[in-house]
Each structure stands twice: as C-alpha cells, then as structure tokens.
Structure 1
Amino acid sequence: MPHYVKLGNVPPKRHTQFRKEDGGLYYEQLMGTKGFSGIQSLIYHINPPTQVKAVKKIKDIHYEWEEKDALKHRHFGTASVESGGDFLEARVMFLGNEDLTIGVARPTQSMPYFYRNGEGDELIFVHEGEGKIESIFGELSFYPGDYLIIPIGTTYRVVLETSEARFLVVESNSEIVPPKRYRNAHGQLLEHSPFCERDFRVPERLEAKDERGEFEVRVRAQGMLTSYLYDFHPLDAVGWDGYLYPYAFSIHDFEPITGRVHQPPTVHQTFEGHNYVVCSFVPRLYDYHPLAVPAPYVHSNVESDEVLYYVAGEFMSRKGISEGSITLHPSGLPHGPHPGKMEGSIGKKETKELAVMIDTFRPLRVVKQAHSYEDPNYMYSWLP
C-alpha cells in the first residue's frame, strides 16, 4: 500500500547538497509518475544514473494475436508450460488488450542482468517458489501467495532461492493500486477494507553497491527492449524516500467478506488498474441463509471479460480445471457453475479454494502461442 517510506540515508532537506565522505555530491534522482503530479520518490545515487557506457537494441516487443473467430469460453492449462531461463526469458503470455497482458513464467535461474519496465506497472503473483526482488529501493523477499507490485521505471531483478518457481504475470499499461472505495481522501485504508497497511511489506534492506565492472540493464520502452551497459553497479542508492517503490501483499492476508447469501465478485477485489480489476478468491465460510445456494449464480459479462487463474483447492463452481489453469469467459456470453455444482454446494460450510481473478473492461485477445495449452472442449463442458 503506497504510504511514505524512508530507507537508508537522505539529507534533511530535499534538493540540497548531500555530500559523500570524500566531499563529492551524491546524485539526486526524482522518480515519479504522471509528470510531476503522481506519486514519486527521491533516490540518492553514488554515480550519475545518466552515465551509460553502451546501448543496443535487443528486439521489438509484440505479441502475435490469433485471428478473430467464434466467441467462446476458453481454458488454458499453464501447468504444462516448460520451465527454464530467468524471470524475463521465461514469460509466456496468453491474453492481452490495450491495457494489460497476462501470462505465466516458470524460471529456473536468477536474472544475471537487471530489468526496467518503462511502459507500466507489473503485478507478479507468486504461485510457487521463494526468493527476493533486488531493486534500486532495496531487497524485498517473496513467498508463495505473494502479490508483488513493481512500479513503472523500477530497476530490479528476480533472484530465486528455490530451484524452480511459478508466477502469474500481469504487464500493465497503467498504475496498479488498491481499490478507491477502500481508501479515504488521504489514501488511508478504511475499516471496511479486506486488508490494512500492516499487511503490506516494503523493501527490507538497502545496501548501496559501490562496485565497478560491467552491468547490464534491459529496458522496455516504446515497444522495444533495449540493453544499456554501465561501468558501475546500478543498485548504488544510499537512500531514498517517498511513495513510489515495490511492495508485497500476501493473498493469505486477504480477509474475505461474506454474507447470508452469495456475494458478488466485487467483494473479492484486491487491486485495480485502468480498465481492469484484480480479485482474490480465498478460503472462506459459505453463505449462512437457511436457503442459500453457495455456488455463484449464472451471470452475463456484458461489459467485461473474466479471467481466472486457479492456484489451489477445489473451485466451487468448476469441473475439469487444475492448478495453473487459466479460464477466459468473454463479454457477451453468460457463464456460471458447471452442471451439478449448484446442488452440490448446498449445505456445505466452507470452501478452501485459492484463485486470482482479473476482470477487464475491454475485450481480451488470445496470443497464438497459447493454443498449444488450450482445452478445445471447454466451451461444451456445461452440457449434461
């Protein structure tokens, strides 16, 4: 949750002299969004972050979308995505539109270089694996169930502390924030929010790297991936303060909102971006009206596409899915529980499901490479 944080050493007054032990000046960098009107942090570097040794274009970034065909519900089994490579190389994207792209990654090694997304925030959901994010803001450890929010422009790399990991990845073209209805005019989370500031973890340790050598930062910007070589370590900040930094929130700290009858998906909302929301389905008690039907009612997505990423447990309304499955229920088509799931839910007291849902308010397109992971019979799985 963005709130004021200070880590390391900063001068008493911003934009004033801040000197090293040898008398030289530290280099102050303002990192902010929306020009000078969004959230921002001030970072103090040992070396000038503008100093680059070499630059080279790596590739254009584009996704090969499938041609439009009959509108239908889709199911992709991402558990069979091959593991290998580092966090950036391992990304396999499945869905996207003008606002975001959604995919998975199964890296097996730490990143030997650093990465900076200059086109938008990133949301990383940790399905499996442990490690840390090393960034210009310090180290942020992660564990299964964590959401990691990486702000636009953050120089970072993913360091694995397990032999393998599995991530759900959202590349956003806008900032990712907690829902507005859970915040007051000052940005503080309100009492009816399913989480509070204590649940959010910020970078834990800042250690300025005063090292010489050859260090690569790969930057995504303007539809390209570009390599920049520096002769000093890019994580050379001695201190920073502000509201812009990576943070972690565990899905296990989401406190579900329940009721006498089935609650709409909006009560599960955890984050929002421009034209989309992210929701968390977590273990919870079922509805307690004596005639309640815990399974969701059929609903029509007349203005949004619904994506579900299944993490663990038995999802109350679905058959034929497994851990790592992604389902897409597009706008224009009604969807709801599979046959037998409504009756089967009656009388049950709780669910142990764990899933991440992303609702988009513009239609999603399917990346062609996703076809090899698709279950072509999913559309017909509601037949008796």
Structure 2
Amino acid sequence: MVKSEFENLKYLHGLANELSSEDPRCPEALPYGQNNPQKCKYGLYAEQISGTAFTVSREFNRRSWFYRIRPSVTHRPFRRIQTTHISNDWSSCPPNPNQLRWAPFNVPDSKGIDFVDGIHTISGAGDPVARSGLAIYIYGCDKSMENKCFYNSDGDLLIVPEKETLYITTEFGKLVVAPLEICLIPMGIKFSVAVTGPARGYILEVFDGHFTLPPLGPIGANGLANARDFQIPTAFYQDIDIPDYKIINKYQGAIFEATQDHSPFDVVAWRGNYHPSKYDLTLFTVINTVSFDHPDPSIFTVLTCPSTKPGVAIADFVIFPPRWGVADNTFRPPYYHRNCMSEFMGLIKGSYEAKEDGFRPGGASLHSMMTPHGPDHDCFEKASNSDLKPVRVADGTMAFMFESSLSLVVTQWAQTVPELDHNYFKCWQPLRKHFTGKK
C-alpha cells in the first residue's frame, strides 16, 4: 500500500456546498451544463445517489452524481449471511441502568479479521426499519478488506479510529483516517478499509437524518469545528475485472452479501454535496469559561444529528481536547449530575481528567439517562483542594462522547464480554460525608 495514493484531498468549505471532482486521467468527464446527458463522455454511465428526499428545501437537499464505468445495479442478488457481531435488535437485551465501563476491547492479532467482520454492536436504540434511532459499535481488525466493500442502507456512519490508521477507498476517492481524525461515510456509499496492522476504534451510526455542524448561536460565526477544515476525496477510479467481488450490505439491521464481476470503485468523476469527509480533531476551536462555573459539555460539540424536536439531538459527537482551565471559585472537573441524555464515552489517547484510572484508550463507558455519575473520589479530592491558578487541562489526551436523547440498550455481548468492569461502581464508594451542620 502506497500512502501517497490516499492523500489527494479537497477542502470542504461548507457541509452543504456543491463540489465536483474528476480523475485527471479522464479530463472533462464531468458534463457541462447538465447532469444526465444522452451520452456521457468516455462511454460512462450517469448515476445519482440521494441522501435526502427530492422535495426537501434546497438548503437541506443532499445528492451527488456519479459518472462511472458501470452502474451500481450490475451486481447479482443479495443473500443474507449470518453474523453474531452486528445487530440492531434490542428486544432480547435485558435493561441495565447501572454505570458501565469497559476495559480496552480486544484487538485481533494475526487472526485475519477485516474491518466489517471486526464490528461488534455495544448499544443502541430505535429501529432502522422506521428510520429512527442509532447504534454504537466497536471495531477491531488486523486485515485489509480484499475484493470486498461495505455499504450501509440504514444510516450514516461516524468512524473514530483509536489505534492505527485506516486507509479507506470510497466511490468518491480515497481517505487516510488516523487516530485523532474522524471519518463520515453517509448512508449508501460503498467503501473498503485497508490496514497495515491491528486497528481499533469506535463507530456511531444514526438511522435518521445526517450529521451536520451545530448552530453557533451567540458564539457567532467562528468557533468549534469549522467547515473549512473538513476534507473530501477527489475522484479516483479502478477499471478492474474481479470475478466474485463481494458487496456487503447492512439492511434493516441484517447483513447481506452480493457479488459482481468488477470493482465498484469505478467512478471517473462526480459532483454534488453528498459525499464522505474527514476532520482533524486537533483543529477544533475550544470555547470555555473565563470567569466561573463549569459550562455544559455541549460547548465541545463537533457534529450533531438533530431530531425533530428543536434543540434536541438524536446524537451529538462531543470531544474534550487540550485546553486552558481558568475558572475562579469553581470545581473545575465535570460536576456530579443526572441527565435526560445517554452518554457513551470513549478514549482515543491519554487519560480522562475526571477518571484518570480505569478508563483507558480503546475502552468505553456508558452512563444511561438519569443514572448518576461524575468524578471519581481521587479527582474530587484533588480538584476540591487545588490552587485555582490557570492550568492546562487534558494535554496529551483526547476523550469523546456520543450523547443521545434516546435511552440506549446494551447488547448481550457487551454485558458479558470479559472487558466489562464489574468493579466500576467502587470508584465512587470512598466519597465521604463532609457536612458539618455549621456555617
């Protein structure tokens, strides 16, 4: 694998802006002045992929046109394949309101597991059939996908690498996604993942809507994640005949397989605003207090998938990057709280300020709605008695949160894996009474 093949990117200057790209080997492959000419140049086929209904308002409409060597319809029939790892059926999962934490999940090593085969469902809610809800996964793989691609008919995928770089080939072109970067693969887009060693990370899938930048409101025009820093692939095509190329499809929570006689990455040119993208988390502009009190974690939102209720998200992707802590007369770490949201946390690098022990990169925690949580005993004592001078917070670390308004179900697999920390509750037990009854 030659890394340079994966670095030809364009910057995205607005998540809904129309863009275009064509492989330099076929100049002027994009038709001028129309989308669907009677005959495309180079004998290509025109094909549209739509991520929204045709009739939504123009500012929300997302679709792209492909100009490809063969249309996508040329595959053989799908057949369902058995998998014990991916499921969106929550009916057989017992409810569990406890605080949950997992040690770093196992990473395959010389077992020959590729990205799709290495995906395991941790939790979720809703129904992909009704197009409402989400699912959270962990992936672990040590093998590249060979003559095989994947696409998801149920929703968008947000991929968060924690260990090792992913080399992702999509119908739009190629992306290199390293730890501290994220990748968005919208619903229906085919992609294949290559790795050079054992890899691990997290995936958030939303069944309805699409991820977008959060509105900034009083913050103004600048701050948080800026659209200018998102990158998209440029067109790259393969004209390769492969007798039994596998197309893996997730549909209504089940996994299907079809075959075709060629590579699906045969898009010579494309135009539109429905496409994969990647973002470097270190470019996030942190907003924080310069006076007192601990602001709500919504100020760290990178991307959101809104629900139909104003101000309420199906899912938010929130990060906790390095920053300055300067609040006066304030308990600076996250305060103890109960929340009408579900909070799934992962760790990409370093340690998390509120729990420096036990919560490690490649692991996770889940605090379900209205389940109390907050800093462990050691963090509380340290933060309650420290000198409140300006200090750097979270240097060398990157924690994140998938936050949702939905009540998340934990799969049977996630409740029985050896990585589940049955002693997690003990980190709060030393918290003692300080009440004196006196002023």
TM > 0.5:
yes
Name the structure 2 match of 1:232. Answer: 262
Name the structure 2 match of 1:75. Answer: 101
Q: 1:35 aligns with which of 39, 53, 59?
A: 53
Instruction: Please show how residues 56-75 of structure 1 align to structure 2 within 5 Å.
Output: 56-59=79-82, 62=87, 65-69=92-96, 71-75=97-101
Q: 1:350 aligns with which of 392, 395, 404?
A: 392
**CA separation of 1:180/1:144 partners in 2, compared to 1, >3 Å: closer, same or farther?**
closer
Aligned counterparts of 2:287 and 2:239: Cα–Cα separation in 1? 48
Q: 2:168 aligns with which of 130, 133, 138?
A: 133
Q: 1:341 aligns with which of 365, 379, 383?
A: 379
Contact 1:79–1:323 (8 Å) recurs in 2: no
Contact 2:316–2:404 (8 Å) recurs in 1: yes
| Percentage of matched positions with identical amino acids | 23
Q: 1:312 aligns with which of 341, 345, 349?
A: 349
Q: 1:294 aligns with which of 320, 327, 332?
A: 332
For 2:233, what is the secondary structure of its paired residue? coil
Residue 2 of structure 1, CA deviation: 4.1
Residue 32 of structure 1, CA deviation: 0.8
For 1:340, what is the secondary structure of its paired residue? helix
Contact 2:108–2:198 (8 Å) recurs in 1: no
For 1:299, what is the secondary structure of its paired residue? coil
For 1:335, what is the secondary structure of its paired residue? coil
Name the structure 2 match of 1:279. Answer: 318
Residue 81 of structure 1, CA deviation: 4.9
Deviations 1:297-352 (CA, angstroms, capped at 9, x unpaired)? 21211x11111112222322114322222111111222221113134233360112
Contact 2:150–2:247 (8 Å) recurs in 1: yes
Aligned counterparts of 1:334 and 1:127: Cα–Cα separation in 2? 27
Contact 2:200–2:362 (8 Å) recurs in 1: no
Aligned counterparts of 2:81 and 2:178: Cα–Cα separation in 1? 31
**CA separation of 1:238/1:190 partners in 2, compared to 1, >3 Å: closer, same or farther?**
farther
Aligned counterparts of 1:208 and 1:34: Cα–Cα separation in 2? 26
Deviations 1:248-303 (CA, angstroms, capped at 9, x unpaired)? 011111121111232210101111124221101111111342x23211221211x1
For 1:238, what is the secondary structure of its paired residue? strand
The CA RMSD measured in Å over matched residues stands at 2.2
Aligned counterparts of 2:41 and 2:222: Cα–Cα separation in 1? 47
Aligned counterparts of 2:272 and 2:335: Cα–Cα separation in 1? 44
- Which shifted more, 94-103 or 116-125? 94-103
Aligned counterparts of 2:201 and 2:209: Cα–Cα separation in 1? 20
Contact 1:111–1:157 (8 Å) recurs in 2: yes
Residue 196 of structure 1, CA deviation: 1.5
For 2:343, what is the secondary structure of its paired residue? strand
Contact 2:320–2:398 (8 Å) recurs in 1: yes
Deviations 1:155-191 (CA, angstroms, capped at 9, x unpaired)? 111112x21211111122124423441389xxxx962
For 2:429, what is the secondary structure of its paired residue? coil
- The TM-score with structure 1 as length reference comes to 0.90
Deviations 1:197-243 (CA, angstroms, capped at 9, x unpaired)? 22111114x22222223222111113332222122221111111110
Contact 1:11–1:18 (8 Å) recurs in 2: no
Contact 1:130–1:142 (8 Å) recurs in 2: yes
Residue 54 of structure 1, CA deviation: 4.6
Instruction: Please show how residues 117-266 of structure 1 align to structure 2 within 5 Å.
Output: 117-160=152-195, 162-182=196-216, 191-204=221-234, 206-214=235-243, 215-259=245-289, 260-261=291-292, 262-266=294-298
Instruction: Please show how residues 322-341 of structure 1 align to structure 2 within 5 Å.
Output: 322-341=360-379
Contact 2:47–2:66 (8 Å) recurs in 1: yes
For 1:267, what is the secondary structure of its paired residue? helix
Aligned counterparts of 1:333 and 1:171: Cα–Cα separation in 2? 23
Contact 1:299–1:335 (8 Å) recurs in 2: yes
5+ residue gaps, structure 1? none
Name the structure 2 match of 1:374. Answer: 420
5+ residue gaps, structure 2? 1-14, 23-28, 127-132, 308-313, 431-439
What amino acid is the match of 2:36? Answer: H
Residue 107 of structure 1, CA deviation: 0.9
Contact 2:214–2:301 (8 Å) recurs in 1: no
**CA separation of 1:227/1:31 partners in 2, compared to 1, >3 Å: closer, same or farther?**
same
How many corresponding residue pairs? 372
